[in-house]
Amino acid sequence: MAAKLQGGGGGAAVMAVVVVAMVAGAASGGNFYEECDATWEPQNCWSSDNGKSLSLALVSNSSGSMIRSKRQFVYGSVSTSVQLVPGNSAGTVTTFYTSSLGDKHDEIDFEFLGNETGQPYTIHTNVYANGVGDKEMQFKPWFDPTDGSHNYTISWTPCRIVWYIDGTPIRVFRNYQSSNGVAFPTWQPMYAYSSIWAAEDWATQKGRVKTDWSKAPFVANYHGIDLDVCECYGGDCVYGCAAAFNQGGGCAGQQLTGDEMGQMKWVQDNFRIYDYCVDYKRFNGQMAPELSLLLVVFTAAAAVVGLAGASFRDECDIPWEPQNARFTDDGNGLSLSLVSNYSGCMLRTKKQFIFGSVSTLIQLVPGNSAGTVTTYYTSSVGDNHDEIDFEFLGNETGQPYTIHTNIYANGVGDKEMQFKPWFNPTDGYHNYTVSWTACMIVWYIDGTPIRVFRNYEKSNGVAFPMKRPMYGYSSIWAAEDWATQGGRVKADWSKAPFVANYRGLNINVCECSTTSGGGNSCAAKCASTYNSKSSACQLSDSELARMRKVQDEYRIYNYCVDPKRYNGSVPVECSLPQ
């Protein structure tokens, strides 16, 4: 039986708290009826399951709904589970956020921007401090947020703000206020809010798609409200809350774990679609001040370059058959076509680099892709080249692709490892990442490492790419003489063109060019940079376990266990730990 939430008369009224800061934790799956008031259009808000569940309805362009926690707080975590509006939700905004009151307010946002049926929501995050926001980061969900409930958590401490989805951190905003003057919420008590409202003038595809009001009411469902916070209504309790959350090692004790950092990187590499920090047009060619705190720049032609969601059009050239390439989504999307046995396409980054990670999302050629090869790889130029490969060998309709990996050093390859995918690589996009440091090379698929090749050059004489700057490449080409079932199955050219789609180019590399005079100097600096990172030479236990599972269940060829190929022996590196 549903019960209407009470309309609040200003929440819990402002309490005088003198040097009192109480950390209050609501039980998991807390009660909306007890914890919250309906502060806008209470007739569109109802609770169920004895107050543990909540529904908010958007009835018209001017009649939505909002609830607010009865308690104010400074620091803590707030979370709830939300099932978003299904179907055509264009023009609607569902929210879960924290905010103070009055002018120059502070605010931390989760906003879910609806879309047409079949199109993904946009998960919009932002932070306001002293009334100033403009720190947006947006994501596409890697799940269906309308099919069941998903948990959204905001964690706010004096050191940083973290946004979590289903326990996975998707974004961090650190406190650089005292050291660098970047405003951060530190002293204004906040409430927790949930709401649904109309924003058809901007929310969906920048306002091009309007709300279909014949589908109203639009209903979002919430389950459980968890407030693990330091209750505070202003005054000296602000300092008590700060002290409470700075215990246990201060900011050093509030770092994300290595696994959490890996999870966040995976989300940001694969699903982040907007980051104000790299929107240089918005800031007149400048970067946002806080971004400069994250970049390390070196002299002598070596610089760490980080481009999340970079534009293919801006960052790449097309050195082969440019007529077969098509940019989409303002250059953030790319299609490469194989038109005939001699006419494919290749794209290459403008920047060269030594060490770093490069990644992109790819949707491979669907249907009968036999005889085609789609690639994503890095390579130097010239004789005795270095190269790190992802090659996707097509197959007959209904038969799986072969994921082919290889490495060349000083012009010598023959280090193949192949896998069958544990997913359909033609049904939507999947992320492929090459991570290259002076210690090891790692191939990742959707954040899972599938292979490691370690640097044993000095200790055992195994050649390893160290000194030749590489480019990043993507291509599609014909190889019907060998690609599919050893060349037994040929390409069906009546199905041409064969089209592979790419989305989002992520380059986090140490720039080092053969043409800029950097030479060995920048190579040495790049090696020093990437060896200083704890993750440069060792996978985490979780990553190792995931890699073992992939290799145990999906690896179909490993050059190290092909004794016939090597007359009964195997290469040196095969007997060394990888």
Q: Which positions are annotated as active-site residues?
A: 387, 391
CA dihedral for 541, 309, 255, 297, sign (positive or negative): positive
Contact 450, 551 (CB under 8 A): yes
Q: Is the peptide bond before 400 cis (omega within 30 degrees of 0)?
A: no
**DSSP secondary structure string, 481-534?**
TTTTGGGTS---GGGPPEEEEEEEEEEEEEE--TTTT-HHHHHHHHHHHHHTSG
Q: How far apart are CA 421 and CA 402, in angstroms?
A: 7
Beta pairing partners, 475? 346, 375
Q: How far apart are CA 526 and CA 354, in angstroms?
A: 6
Short-list 30, 39, 31, CA closest to 12 = 39
Short-list 503, 508, 464, CA closest to 353 = 508
Contact 518, 527 (CB under 8 A): no
**The two three-digit tokens of residue 465, written as one number:** 């790419």
**DSSP secondary structure string, 386-404?**
-EEEEEEE--STTSPPEEE
Contact 403, 389 (CB under 8 A): no
Q: How far apart are CA 414 and CA 290, in angstroms?
A: 45
- Packing angle, helices 258-271 and 541-554, rounded to 10: 60
Short-list 104, 106, 87, 266, CA closest to 171 = 266
- Expressed in angstroms, the distance from the first to the final Cα of the chain is 59
Where is 262: in which H helix or E strand?
helix 258-271
Q: How far apart are CA 71 and CA 73, in angstroms?
A: 7
Tell me the H-state helices in 299-345. 312-315
Where is 355: in which H helix or E strand?
strand 353-363
Q: How far apart are CA 288 and CA 275, in angstroms?
A: 10
Q: How far apart are CA 292 and CA 502, in angstroms?
A: 29
Using the structure block, give the residue that is written with the tokens 């269906």. Answer: 144
Contact 31, 89 (CB under 8 A): no
Contact 250, 159 (CB under 8 A): yes
